Amino acid sequence: MKKYIKKKSILIVLIGIVFVSFSFQSKFFEVAKQIEIYTTLFKELNMYYVNEINPAELTNNALKNTLKNLDPYTNYFNEQDVEAAKIRREGEYGGIGASISYSNKSPLIISVYKGYAADKAGLKPGDLIIKIDNQELIALEREQISGLLLGVPGSPVSIEISRQGKTLQIDLNREKIEVNPVPFFGKVDAETGYIVLTRFNAKASSEVKKAFENLKEQGITNLILDLRSNPGGLLGEAVNISNFFLPKGKVITTTKAKVKKWSNTYLSRNEPLDLEIPIVVLINGRSASASEIVTGALQDYDRAVIMGKRSFGKGLVQRYRTLSYGTQLKVTISKYYTPSGRCIQELDYANRDLKTGKIPKFSDGGINEFTTQNGRKVFDGGGVIPDIITENETLNEETKALLSSRALFNFGVAYKNKNKSLKSAAEFRFSDADFKKFQVFLKTDTTFKTTQEKSFQKAYDLVNQSQNKKISKDYYKILNTLKAEKITALASNKEFIKDEIKKIILDHYYYQEGVYQNKLTSDKTILEAMRLLKNKKKYSQILSTIK
């Protein structure tokens, strides 16, 4: 009987092995089959299609199209993309030191970095780059233009720009540009330090550490860590920064992947910098990924009060995989969980409606309750919910259209051209009178168009072929009415728009440093955080109360 049972067990195991082997071979065959189909199609197209085909462009588009119905973080990188991604991760590159917009294939300088080549050569926001080393740019793609600007530090580059109708030739030398993820830190008052972290590149933890130690030497006893609009970056840097304020040996985050070796628990491995200082972490709807790892860990251990708006809710981890000929695949390999066990992913990409493109939210199916170290209730299913939610201004459609245009930037350039000097960065305010001037400016701006205006213009373009003068007259009458109405509608978001314009103007005069100096005296959320940190009783109650 025992021999029979033993033989039966061996048979079951063998059947299992055969089944797994067959399943694996079947899946491998299907992959190989699809690759061969694409290869043969690609060859036939290149040989017989009536027009010339760019093989690299065709493959690039095919691969990106293949991935578009997955999550937006799984991407194919060609050789140029790989270099750009490396710059973002490492935080340094050889260039001129300017932020450039490439819309309409016309490189426009949006911002210059203080002390770098572009700044020293006198380049300004609003300068339109026409030529680079005598190369016309109109027919070039963004990657090609960027490639002309980037280069070995110390190498010369000649740029022809258009500024207020004048053409200027600017000669400069490329420099090693270091992207500091902590563009500003300082004291809000005698007791409260402020650190802004804009990205989690390879320099993030070292720069945060330097900033914190500097502020400690200045005698701070409270800290505000600003992660608003920080899209994330390197997971390891998030673990390191969390470790600054949490004891050694604590779970910072856990990842769960299909591949077992990529399912990990990340612990704080070093001695902390400070376990006592009261902290407020600021987040908003554009705080994502590594920002949420730090926020989630500090919240779950009741180490900081989280203030602001619900975070983005990314909850996914990516890894770079090397492909042929210097290309790469950035692929989502796992989900991450906070120390309490929360997965804060908001969008369920696996169940996207392929017909409409709509992506369901995990929170639509209900949320789950978890508890912090002190027993406070926290929840999953869509970002980190702050302990204190600041007032969230609802933006109307007109304001959203304004933000997607260049109108704010264009006004900032016009403001700088008319006003050669500005009072100190900390004291500058954009007044109601200034807002009225901005509304007048919009009457002549051509970049700010609502959906209504765009649809109306399309309809007019279709009927205008008849050259009907009455239609044209009525069209411009209605168009002017639409323009007046949209400008009036902006008044309901006046304070928000004023703040956005103020940031642009300050950057034009005082760089990003000036923007943050002003925030310390006028940002409502920063000032609210400072008041909370001064109220020790309320701060402690928030972190100890079981809700």
* Residue 285: closest CA among 184, 147, 395: 395
Give dist(CA 281, CA 386) in Å, integer: 9
If pLDDT is split at 50, 70 and 90, which confidence band does 547 have? very low
Looking at residue 18, its pLDDT comes to 45
More confident residue, 7 or 375: 375
Percent of the chain with pLDDT over 70: 91
Q: pLDDT (tens digit, 9 = 90+) per residue, 141-161?
A: 787 888 888 888 899 999 999
Please, what's the b/e burial string for 10-29 (b: 16 or more CB within 10 A of its CB; e: otherwise)? eeeeeeeeeeeeeeeeeeee
Q: 71, 127, 226, 300: which is the annotated catalytic residue?
A: 300
Give dist(CA 373, CA 543) in Å, integer: 10
Q: 203, 250, 309, 314: which is the annotated catalytic residue?
A: 314
Instruction: Based on the residue annotation, tell me whether 537 is a catalytic residue of this protein.
Output: no
Instruction: Based on the residue annotation, tell me whether 171 is a catalytic residue of this protein.
Output: no
Give dist(CA 211, CA 292) in Å, integer: 21
Instruction: Based on the residue annotation, tell me whether 289 is a catalytic residue of this protein.
Output: yes
Rounded to the nearest 10 degrees, what angle do helices 235-243 and 204-217 cross at?
20
Specify burial of residue 119 (Cβ count, 10 A radius: 0-12, 13-18, 19+): middle
- In 10 A of CB 328, how many CB atoms? 18
- What amino acid occupies position 328? Q
Q: Quote the pTM value.
A: 0.86
Cβ contact 272:244 at 8 Å: yes
DSSP result, 117-185: HHHHTT--TTPEEEEETTEE-TT--HHHHHHHH---TT-EEEEEEEETTEEEEEEEE-EEEE--S--EE
Q: pLDDT (tens digit, 9 = 90+) per residue, 282-292?
A: 999 999 999 99
Beta pairing, strands 92-95 & 369-371: unpaired
- What amino acid occupies position 119? D
Looking at residue 20, its pLDDT comes to 46
Q: pLDDT (tens digit, 9 = 90+) per residue, 148-207?
A: 888 888 999 999 999 988 999 999 999 998 889 999 999 999 999 999 999 999 999 999
Q: 242, 268, 289, 340: which is the annotated catalytic residue?
A: 289
Looking at residue 469, its pLDDT comes to 65
* Residue 194: closest CA among 202, 204, 207, 184: 184
Number of H helices, E strands in the chain: 16, 21
Beta pairing, strands 369-371 & 279-283: unpaired
CA contacts within 13 A on the Cβ side of 395: 12
More confident residue, 300 or 17: 300
